Chain A
Amino acid sequence: MEILKVSGVNKAFGGLKALNDVNLAVEEGNVHAIIGPNGAGKSTLLNCFVGRLIPDTGTVMFGNTSLIGLKAHQINQAGVSRVFQTPEIFSDLTLLENVMIPTMAKRDGEFALHAFKRIDKDTEILDKSMHMLEDVGLAEKKDVIAASLSRGDKRRLELAMCLVQDPKLLLLDEPTAGMSRADTNNTIDLLKRIGDRGITKVVIEHDMHVVFSLADKVSVLAQGTVICEGKPEEIKGDPRVQEAYLGGAHL
């Protein structure tokens, strides 16, 4: 079943056509990678999924709901979580609080005036958040202020914040950008582990190592159009991809 269906999406910034009739379908349960050279329109496309940009024409369907015109928080409440290129976390708060916030957002909706409840007595939220922190290996740092974490830990925390909401679709924008090889491998392992939960993932990535170790399906974007789609092995050998993406060099 298709969980995300993008049809005929166009987006222009002034005279620059960033997206040119993009069609894409993401199968439920798959890890779908979107790759392409710099300026191919990968981030623009992702921003069209989450309500940050509105396409000029075309539709973006998530299950049976159209994502176009919805606000970011409504899209999240519909079941789409997003990981950013630079981890977006609540850096002044502790790790536990960081994870509790999305947990509460999932349970209580976009606004709830619980001004008289004690947070430290809400065992449901506390337990769920602690479990999540244990899953990503950050349980011992639960009282640490998030700003002091390393880049790799911040990424893990951000993933935990997305996963605790049990999203139907997880969007990852270059999840290993700027990481050391060791951190990259840790992140790949983590992403593979959470793959068992059956969460559909869309990954935008530069690092071929990451793409080929994670993806079930790859779409190649160049100059705002999908030029090729298929399994990672098929993509590797495709001359069009090598031409557009690697300038003709062999992989």
Chain B
Amino acid sequence: MATKTSPMRDLIFFVVFAVAVLTMPVWLAPIGAGYPDLLQKFAIYGLFATGFNLLFGLTGYLSFGHAAFLGVGSYSAVWTFKLLGMNPVPAAIVAVITSGIFALAIGYVSLRRSGIYFSILTLAFAQMSYNLAYSVLTPITNGETGLRVLRTDPRLFDSSNAVDGPLIANLFGIEMTGYAGFYFCAVVLLIAFFIAQRIFRSPFGIMLRAVKTNQNRMNYTGLNPRPYTLAAFVISGMYAGLAGALLCITDPLAGAERMQWTASGEVVLMTILGGAGTLLGPIFGAALIKYFENIFSAFNAQTLHEIFGFLPDFIEVPVVAVTSLFVGEGWHLTLGVLFMLIVVFLPGGLMEGFSRIGRLFKRSSGKSDQSGATAPAE
């Protein structure tokens, strides 16, 4: 609620968040997630979901085509590498601009409708973009092989550097792989999160929530909802484009599969799983899904036997047989079950779960504290 916030509280919140993100390599190590590749994914998809949430969480417009902007961002970034050189900063800027222009065009058409029709329109645009990238626009996108930086590319600003080994993005000499890559993504995430936080607390943010609540009243209040939704759509498209650029900064390859509808669906899952309309929720959701994708999918029957080794054999065999359906190739099954449980029991996502636990603690620790909350208002 906007009324319960203050600049000081927001600052503390941001600082705590920043510290938590930057120390992820330390505190995520015990659960096996402390390696740079996965941490990069946490930051990148957290950014993607944060941007998606600015549209879906605030205005309630459910876009099913956000992966198109992720792809546009990736292609723009690789082209910037090819033409200008391997510095990630121009690549990120170009990606944000091109995906913003794309979002403006797609949003202008799609936002003429709302509800399911809007979702279908965005899905159609994303599938169109995917097919264009996959076949029609092969000269630009290099079709199914994917677009990569070649040694023969002009790279205006660093072509003189004789590089041996693979071409990797580097920020003034620091190669964007491993932990350096993660910290670059984390800093970008923090900047983007800060902007998102400001939008949440701004007049513009309130207007976006007004769009979600009652467009009719908005019209009769002298406000035109269209430019508000379009602005939210473009900002959210820019976030997606930036996330796409980061994917290429840590691994300079852009493929059409990044624009598939499954990728668009994934960001919807992340946002709903974490809690749409909250600042932190989408980031939790993104991290959870990427964690499952990378950790659970790596489990096999052997690891399960080790985990359940303490059980007597006649129990262990069926237990391993059942659980093995949910790991390895079957990690989607676990995700599906988790998603169902959350939607049914915690419609507000993980964030609702956390606040319920928080309230539970408050209630048990101080019962006299309640008078303020339940006092009659008049």
- Residues of chain A at the chain B interface (Cβ within 8 Å): 50, 71-73, 76-77, 81-82, 84, 88-94, 96-97, 100-102, 104-106, 108-122, 125, 140-144, 161, 165
Cβ–Cβ < 8 Å partners of B212 in chain A: 92
- Given known contacts A101-B207, A116-B198, A120-B6, A161 and B221 CB-to-CB distance under 8 angstroms: yes
- Cβ contact within 8 Å between B213 and A93: yes
Question: Other CB < 8 Å A-B pairs besides A104-B206, A119-B205, 10 of them?
Answer: A73-B219, A73-B221, A93-B206, A97-B2, A101-B206, A110-B224, A111-B227, A113-B204, A114-B202, A115-B202
Min CB distance B225 to A, Å, is 8
Per-residue contact bits, chain B 219-237, to A (CB 8 Å; 1 contact, 0 not): 1111110011001000100
Query: B145 contacts the other chain (Cβ, under 8 Å)?
Result: no
Interface residues on chain B, number (Cβ under 8 Å): 36
Min CB distance B285 to A, Å, is 21
SS class, residues of chain B in contact with chain A: helix
| CA gap between A90 and B378 in the complex, in Å | 22
- Cβ contact within 8 Å between B377 and A144: yes
- Cβ contact within 8 Å between A100 and B222: no
A-B contact pairs, 12 of them (CB 8 A): A72-B220, A73-B223, A90-B209, A94-B2, A97-B209, A102-B222, A105-B222, A105-B223, A115-B199, A115-B204, A115-B205, A117-B203
Per-residue contact bits, chain B 252-280, to A (CB 8 Å; 1 contact, 0 not): 00000000000000000000000000000
- Cβ contact within 8 Å between A92 and B209: yes
- Cβ contact within 8 Å between B220 and A119: no
Query: B167 contacts the other chain (Cβ, under 8 Å)?
Result: no
- Cβ contact within 8 Å between B206 and A50: no
- Cβ contact within 8 Å between A76 and B213: no
Which 4 pairs from chain A and chain B are nearest by CB?
A: A76-B222, A72-B219, A115-B204, A110-B224
Of chain B, the residue at the smallest CB distance from A76 is: B222
Of chain A, the residue at the smallest CB distance from B7 is: A118
- Given known contacts A102-B222, A110-B224, A161-B221, A92 and B213 CB-to-CB distance under 8 angstroms: yes
- Cβ contact within 8 Å between A93 and B203: no
| CA gap between A82 and B223 in the complex, in Å | 14
| CA gap between A209 and B128 in the complex, in Å | 62
- Cβ contact within 8 Å between A122 and B222: no
- Contact partner of A94 (CB less than 8 A), chosen from B3, B223, B227, is B3
- Cβ contact within 8 Å between B377 and A94: no
- Cβ contact within 8 Å between A119 and B217: no
Query: B216 contacts the other chain (Cβ, under 8 Å)?
Result: yes
Cβ–Cβ < 8 Å partners of B218 in chain A: 73, 101
- Cβ contact within 8 Å between A116 and B220: no
Cβ–Cβ < 8 Å partners of B203 in chain A: 100, 104, 108, 112, 114, 117, 119, 122, 125
Cβ–Cβ < 8 Å partners of B160 in chain A: none
| CA gap between A161 and B216 in the complex, in Å | 14
- Cβ contact within 8 Å between B222 and A88: no
- Contact partner of B223 (CB less than 8 A), chosen from A91, A97, A110, A142, is A110
| CA gap between A91 and B210 in the complex, in Å | 9
Cβ–Cβ < 8 Å partners of B220 in chain A: 50, 72-73, 76, 81-82, 84, 88
- Cβ contact within 8 Å between A121 and B7: yes
Of chain A, the residue at the smallest CB distance from B228 is: A111
